[in-house]
Structure 1
């Protein structure tokens, strides 16, 4: 695992919840994707840069454990770790935690790097690897 997690704060809004004020299950995927995007941005790799270089990441596999529902107006943290770097893929461990450190949801997400123009897998470019490897 990485030395430390990338931490990204979120607040739960009405749009995130079901009629009972609990986060609807598919919205956890949005929270986790945004945190992965912000981790890359933190390392100088924005979505705009990826588009300009015709590089993208697509989700290959997700495993999620829902431990406790998040509720309307809660302020939470998504902790993101890069757990594996391969030639064409990255694997992330992501935790949604409250400010007391209690884990509400856990996900393992594997993404594959693609050439956007060809929509085919491609090696992760060095400009990305050099930035994200500094945390390992």
Structure 2
């Protein structure tokens, strides 16, 4: 299992009038964690896209457990449990500063060849790097 943690500060524009993080911002936090995990592997999401490999989301599940608030420092824990093939399932857990789990979910991405317009296998350089870390 590959686990990566990213810290995210809750800014004013992430919240509603009551200072609570707007529920629609959690997928963005998931994406930040996912991008930073990929970067931690020495792979740039941007470079993958420039090489013609896209990663569109095919599914998103979210479980809201507790609220988070303006100025909280959140820990986004991004988890890959197995080496991806065509589908790329990623679990995410978000913790508050007290270490309490406040949100969890799963995003399933698909490796997609921009030239053919069809799903494809994950690039070997990507699967090799993930396999090293799991």
**TM-score for the superposition, normalised by structure 1:** 0.92
Aligned equivalents of 2:64, 2:129: Cα separation in 1 = 31
**TM-score for the superposition, normalised by structure 2:** 0.93
Residue of structure 2 aligned with 1:82, choices 60, 80, 83: 80
Shift in Å, 1:6: 0.3
CA contact (8 A) 2:83 2:130 kept: no
Aligned equivalents of 2:52, 2:123: Cα separation in 1 = 11
Shift in Å, 1:80: 0.7
In the alignment, which residue of structure 2 is the partner of 1:16? 14
Aligned length: 134
Residue of structure 1 aligned with 2:90, choices 82, 92, 108: 92
List alignment gaps of at least 5 residues for structure 2: none
In the alignment, which residue of structure 2 is the partner of 1:28? 26
Shift in Å, 1:48: 2.4
List alignment gaps of at least 5 residues for structure 1: none
RMSD: 1.3
